[in-house]
Amino acid sequence: MKEISCKLLVIGAGPGGYACAIRAGQLGIDTVIVEASKPGGTCLTIGCIPSKALIHAAEVFDATRQMAGGRAAMGIRVDPPSIDLAGTMAWKDGIVGRLTSGVSGLLQKARVKIVSGRTRFRDGKTVEVNTETGQQIVRAETVVIATGSDPVELPALPFGERVISSTEALSLREVPNRLIVVGGGYIGLELGTAFAKLGSNVTVVEATAQVLPIYDADLVKPVTRRLADRGIRVFTNTKAIGLSETGDALNVEGPDGQQELPADHILVAVGRRPRSVGSGLEDLDLDRSGPYLRIDDRCRTSMRGVYAIGDVTGEPMLAHRAIAQGEMVAEIVAGKKRAWDKRCIPSICFTDPEIVSAGLSPSEARAQGYEVKVGQFPFTANGRAMTMLDEDGFVRVVARADTNLVLGLQAVGSGVSELSAAFSLAIEMGTRLEDIAATIHAHPTRSEALQEAALKAMGHALHI
């Protein structure tokens, strides 16, 4: 049995784990990282990156189909296109391969030792790793738990055959004719919309009164309109009961009673759960917050020398949150004074159109006792949006009525995910409406809508 000793052991090479290990290596900390699969974790290998690749391929294919159908307003005509989904998936896998190799290279550059295998805790300082060449023991002064999360499985719809998770959806080799998506959150709608563009007949089943329930209704309206335009059926206030007796349909119950929805595949996308069972974590005496590991503002758990970052610590389950936590923990281990003091974590939904939100919505700000000014500027009045044939959506700014301090920024529209950095920076820097309004925004760009929203909140928008 081989043994390794190190100063820092990171368990899980997802965005949070590999960022922590790389930064620790840069700081001269003797670091070992353990990963059961490929470096990059869920986000890079079976989540964020492959799903965005599929979404882009679907957008290109859909645009080409529209040109072939004589609906191309720009005068472009093409022959009727076809889709080879296996080829699309191979292209996607190539991107994933490049990125996983890149992460491995960065870890090696930082002199981090990579151990491939599944871990099990012996105690808070020691783990057993089952590798291809046998069992290895790793002893560390400090441990960072970055084990990530898994898709939630419904008892009435266990994964297998027709019932798939996002992981299997991103590995399909043929476009399903009939796809039912259980769960109208961001994962379900992103993948459901992509497959609809590829040619699937898509139905979304959502238990609450609105798809994308974490966003306010104004942001969701352009998305629901686009879903309807694409022929995607949406059932809200509807619960999935289970498969039909023949196994080729989903039984649901909603406002109109029970009905049977035929399906080739049923994608269950009702959320994710922390990966905290099966690695010995359950044997450690760590405080929990529900199913998640409880941490403080330095990502410390209740056990000395044991930190936790990323999805295993709870919402928001976002890769960029995990990366920021990982970088912070590495610096704390190196002796630097760091604490979690982020004002906002931007969230993005890569639907059609996209949604981005940073900080407080108008209702959230009012619920916290603020009197607010709200400025909203539509893309129908934005020149760049017109030239891109996509004018749906708007940019919205929420500010304190007394000081004009920006509390939140939101947008819905084509490509607005790229505004997320500007939104977050504005809030982190304590920006006021006057700061945004006085900043020159390049013309013609969608970002001009941000300046116009600030001007409108101040009472003098120029272009509306």
Residues forming the active site: 443
76: alpha, beta or left, given left = phi > 0 and alpha = psi -120 to 50? Answer: beta
Contact 224, 211 (CB under 8 A): yes
Q: Name 82's Cβ contacts closer than 8 Å, sequence gap at least 6.
A: none
Quote the CA–CA distance of 376 and 398 in Å, as a whole number: 9
Q: What is the dihedral of CA 359, 362, 363, 368, to 10 degrees?
A: 60
Residue written as token pair 């080879």: 84
Exposure string for 310-323, b = 16+ CB within 10 A, e = fewer: bbbbbeebbbbbbb
Neighbours of 422 (CB within 10 A): 20
In the chain, count H helices and then E strands: 13, 24
Quote the CA–CA distance of 272 and 278 in Å, as a whole number: 16
Neighbours of 258 (CB within 10 A): 11
Quick one: tokens of 291?
A: 């199913």
Distances in whole angstroms, Cα of residue 90 to Cα of each of 48, 172, 180, 291, 438: 16, 11, 24, 36, 47
Quote the CA–CA distance of 297 and 302 in Å, as a whole number: 12
Quote the CA–CA distance of 121 and 127 in Å, as a whole number: 4
Return the CA Rg of the chain: 24
Per DSSP, the three-state class of 320 is helix
Residue 464: burial class (beta carbons within 10 Å; 0-12, 13-18, 19+): middle
Least Cα distance to 31 among 131, 142, 137 occurs for 142
Per DSSP, the three-state class of 272 is strand
Quote the CA–CA distance of 245 and 267 in Å, as a whole number: 18
Contact 365, 202 (CB under 8 A): no
Quote the CA–CA distance of 36 and 378 in Å, as a whole number: 47
Quick one: tokens of 163?
A: 């019932």
